Chain A
């Protein structure tokens, strides 16, 4: 049992950070292990936001050497950025182990991303023009405050509260997953994927990387694979219902879109509110009511239902 939520404002920006925090706070009972947000601000062409982690939260308690190691990893990251012709415009430490860079780059970000991840202990959490992906252990309030999400303004976002069932409680296994190396695409998932290893081997044969043993990561890789091959988001979501086994409901966000897919058994919940200027999705109604307390009409999407909305 995990909690997923997403929203998209049509044609305007809003305080998405505070809205997503309120929704995930309401879903805390579905998963207290970790919380993650993928929120989308106004995209700036040419400038990329890169969220990166240089260590796991648990590593911080393991010894004195970790601070030195992190400093060394950061140096390597920056050397790598310079090597690929990326200029660092801004840099901030969200936590001791998580960094946020704004870089300008006009080359191949995929090659750069692959190079950076060769550094031991380093994982790029997200890379994109508008995407800000943060995830850490703790509930929505803890993570939101730690990363200063409350003030974030944007058009859309997705989020996840995790109850770990298939893999460890660490940032590596926390959602959302960035669809490496596909810029601005992120995924949150509720369910279990039963043909994970078969699909993972297939994806690995095609050259995709997996950073965790969490089955949800497969959906991000799968989506990235489809998008890279020119498949539309809607088509990718439809194909996933055929090709991926198990029980799943998942949300995908891109630079300007929000999509959902529900498996053939409709075994994982999702409630949908749709109006002309706002679409809100969540595992439970109580999360939608956290931002829309007035009386509204909501419904449960059916089995095999796929929907995509544009900002």
Chain B
């Protein structure tokens, strides 16, 4: 390939791989083509107010008797002091723990939490040694969240990036409105998983409830167990070698790789039969009609 720079060639190859993985399959036109998130830019993006923390500096916070606000404030204060590893003890089902952390941080929650745990985060690595309630990791942008036990409904609602992992079972509407990132579930998932999913990927090692992938626009769901029923416009697609290698790597990374491998996984994508976009705003439509 004379005349083509090695960088460009590499870039094309990467793009082809990404398309094959279903990561860039949007075929939107007109206004919808506007790019909101540029992966290359996101990689290098840091907040101006990011705190300089040292992962080797470790401390514990006992949440017993504290309010959610007090615990979340103490996390910020400890990050200001440079603590990079923070352990929260005795959360006892507290809601909204660890929300809105826009920083690198090792956060370990030693117990179970309530609703909206680690929502709106951008960057931290979180481990929760218990169960989480509804809407865990909602709207997260980057980082990893690992849950050792079960999770409630709307797990990873509208996530845009990062890895959200639950080793147990999750409730209904998992990954509703997912816009990026990866959701990994070691066990079963409930009804309407991947409802209105737009981008990103989801791996369910167990069974799925009814209406899997209902009204999904795009994105990919890999499922290892039984599917009770597929949702509207969700179809089965062929598992490629690239999918297998990606599944292998991702599941091994979190210790969830099944003994029988990943060949039995089913790939679900959007049929795109319901796509009916136009490029006109309602007031523009009125002018024409």
Residue interface mask B161-183, A partner, CB < 8 A = 1: 00000001111110000000000
Residue interface mask A234-277, B partner, CB < 8 A = 1: 00000000000000000000000000000011110101000000
Among B130, B152, B169, the one with the most A-chain Cβ atoms within 10 Å of its Cβ is B152
Residues of chain A lying within 8 A (CB to CB) of residue B169: 299-300
In this complex, the interface size class of chain A, counting residues with CB under 8 Å from chain B, is 20 to 34
> A19 on the interface (CB 8 Å rule)?
no
Q: Which of B21-29, B42-50, B107-115, B274-282 makes up part of the contact surface?
A: B107-115
**Contact of B153 (CB < 8 Å), options: A269, A284, A297:** A269
CB-contacts of B176-198 with A (<8 A): 190-192
Nearest chain-A residue to B132 (Cβ)? A285
Q: How far is the CB of A261 from chain B (nearest CB, A)?
A: 15
Q: How far is the CA of A269 from the CA of B133 in the complex (A)?
A: 9
Classify the secondary structure of B's interface with A: loop
Residues of chain A lying within 8 A (CB to CB) of residue B250: none
Residues of chain B lying within 8 A (CB to CB) of residue A267: 172
Q: How far is the CA of A211 from the CA of B264 in the complex (A)?
A: 56
Contact between B131 and A298 (Cβ–Cβ < 8 Å)?
yes
**Contact of B191 (CB < 8 Å), options: A266, A271, A296:** A266
Contact between A284 and B93 (Cβ–Cβ < 8 Å)?
yes
Q: How far is the CA of A266 from the CA of B172 in the complex (A)?
A: 7
> B76 on the interface (CB 8 Å rule)?
no
Residues of chain A lying within 8 A (CB to CB) of residue B153: 266, 269, 300
**Contact of B115 (CB < 8 Å), options: A264, A265, A284, A297:** A284
Q: How far is the CB of A57 from chain B (nearest CB, A)?
A: 31
Q: How far is the CA of A269 from the CA of B115 in the complex (A)?
A: 11
Q: How far is the CA of A295 from the CA of B133 in the complex (A)?
A: 15
Nearest chain-A residue to B188 (Cβ)? A302
Residues of chain B lying within 8 A (CB to CB) of residue A119: none
CB-contacts of B125-149 with A (<8 A): 130-131, 133-134, 149
> B94 on the interface (CB 8 Å rule)?
yes
Q: How far is the CB of B171 from chain A (nearest CB, A)?
A: 4
Contact between B171 and A300 (Cβ–Cβ < 8 Å)?
yes
Q: How far is the CB of B168 from chain A (nearest CB, A)?
A: 7
Q: How far is the CA of A289 from the CA of B192 in the complex (A)?
A: 29
Q: How far is the CA of A289 from the CA of B91 in the complex (A)?
A: 9
Residues of chain A lying within 8 A (CB to CB) of residue B150: 297-300
Contact between B190 and A302 (Cβ–Cβ < 8 Å)?
yes
Contact between A286 and B94 (Cβ–Cβ < 8 Å)?
yes
CB-contacts of A39-80 with B (<8 A): none
Residues of chain A lying within 8 A (CB to CB) of residue B104: none
> B100 on the interface (CB 8 Å rule)?
no
Q: How far is the CA of A286 from the CA of B111 in the complex (A)?
A: 12
Residues of chain B lying within 8 A (CB to CB) of residue A302: 171-172, 190-191, 209
Contact between A297 and B209 (Cβ–Cβ < 8 Å)?
no
Residues of chain B lying within 8 A (CB to CB) of residue A289: 92-93, 112
Nearest chain-B residue to A298 (Cβ)? B131
Q: How far is the CB of B233 from chain A (nearest CB, A)?
A: 19
Q: How far is the CA of A285 from the CA of B135 in the complex (A)?
A: 13
Q: How far is the CA of A298 from the CA of B171 in the complex (A)?
A: 12
Q: How far is the CB of A138 from chain B (nearest CB, A)?
A: 22
> A288 on the interface (CB 8 Å rule)?
yes
Nearest chain-B residue to A282 (Cβ)? B93
CB-contacts of B92-125 with A (<8 A): 92-95, 111-115
> A303 on the interface (CB 8 Å rule)?
yes
Residue interface mask A119-154, B partner, CB < 8 A = 1: 000000000000000000000000000000000000
Nearest chain-A residue to B190 (Cβ)? A302
Q: How far is the CB of B256 from chain A (nearest CB, A)?
A: 18
Nearest chain-A residue to B173 (Cβ)? A266
Contact between B131 and A288 (Cβ–Cβ < 8 Å)?
no
Residues of chain B lying within 8 A (CB to CB) of residue A284: 93, 95, 114-115, 133
Q: How far is the CB of A90 from chain B (nearest CB, A)?
A: 40
Residues of chain A lying within 8 A (CB to CB) of residue B170: 300
Interface pairs (12), CB distance under 8 Å: A266-B153, A266-B171, A269-B134, A284-B114, A288-B93, A289-B93, A293-B92, A298-B150, A299-B131, A300-B153, A302-B190, A303-B172
Known contacts A297-B149, A298-B112, A302-B191; 13 further A-B pairs (Cβ under 8 A): A266-B153, A284-B133, A285-B133, A286-B92, A287-B93, A289-B92, A295-B111, A296-B112, A297-B150, A299-B168, A302-B171, A303-B190, A303-B191
